[in-house]
Amino acid sequence: MSKQEQAAGEFYIGWLPDAPHGIAKHIRKVVIALAVLVVTGGTVLALLQKKFSTANFEFGQLTAIKGVYYEFPVPSLKVLSSRDAFGRSTYVTIPLVGYGKFGAEGLIRELEQERNTSLQEKLVTFKGTLLYSDGKALLQIDRNDSPLVAIANASKKDLATDTEELGTMQLNGEVLDPKCYFGVMKPGHGKPHRDCATRCIAGGISPVFWVRNTKGGSDYYLILDENGEKMNAALKDHIGEPLSLYARAVRFNDWIVLYTDKKSIKTSSKLSWFKSPDQTISCAR
């Protein structure tokens, strides 16, 4: 009897100490194949998972930040970052947000009334909780933390605002709630984030437009209407979905502001997010 004929006639009996040679050989092949499949599948799934966010929210830790306060384009502090060997200054802009799902404007007005002065273009020290990620930082100020530490007059050098008209842009990206995205939530964008972001933006937190550039990095823009007013109400139905946006772009210090209108905002495909915004810049209006 040949080996093939012998293997075909083999029968597995559970109480025997060893399985027949042909059946044992077949089982070994199946087990090895399944092991390779499990390892390969696990590796592929791991590679497809999104990386953990590097966003930070310094919960319970208060930091005092001194800078020139500006209401426009969003409530923020212009903070001295460094000076080079020639005495030239570098500044960063830190937008302010309120506690919970609220913007900072209401608290700022209360503090101005208490001190009977305007904070606009004053050198102000605020105490609050830092949020930061991907080169951007925000400061949460809370009434319970007595956030206004000091007010002084700013120098002419500190008051200088670096602005530049960048022309018009056609950008593809997503409307974000910056407070959650830059620190409080992980992840802070997409459909899982939509409900939370909708409430934050409805509460007055200024939305940010996130664009994935061709280098695999991220670009962030502030969004205002064509008159420089907030667009929170107009954007609340577009949060967390792919959008195409046509806007006039102006750089304010280290942020770029997009001036647009509701008619210039369209839903788009995620495939279009990888189109470089540099290819769609036209002459300034």
Write the single-letter amino acid at 194: R
CA–CA distance, 166 with 176 (Å, rounded to integer) = 22
Quote the radius of gyration of the chain (alpha carbons, Å): 28
Q: What share of the chain is helix, strand, coil (3-state, %, to 5)?
A: 30, 35, 35
Please tell me the predicted confidence (pLDDT) of residue 16: 57
Please tell me the predicted confidence (pLDDT) of residue 85: 61
pLDDT band at 31 (very low <50, low <70, confident <90, very high): confident
- For domain 163-280, give the fold: OB fold (Dihydrolipoamide Acetyltransferase, E2P) (2.40.50)
Domain range 56-159, its CATH number among 1.10.10, 2.40.50, 1.10.3470, 1.10.20 = 2.40.50
% of the chain with per-residue pLDDT over 70: 76
Spatial CA neighbour of 255 closest among 206, 209, 222: 222
Write the single-letter amino acid at 94: I
Residues of the chain with CATH 2.40.50: 56-159, 163-280
CA–CA distance, 153 with 124 (Å, rounded to integer) = 8
Q: Helix (H, G, I), strand (E, B), or coil: what is residue 47?
A: helix
Residue 131 predicted with pLDDT over 70: yes
7, exposed or middle or buried, with CB in 10 Å at 0-12, 13-18, 19+? Answer: middle
Please tell me the predicted confidence (pLDDT) of residue 32: 83
Write the single-letter amino acid at 35: A
Q: What is the mean pLDDT of residues 67-78?
A: 95
CA–CA distance, 82 with 277 (Å, rounded to integer) = 30
pLDDT band at 44 (very low <50, low <70, confident <90, very high): low
Write the single-letter amino acid at 17: P
Alpha carbons within 13 angstroms on the beta-carbon side of residue 103 total 19
Residue 239 predicted with pLDDT over 80: yes
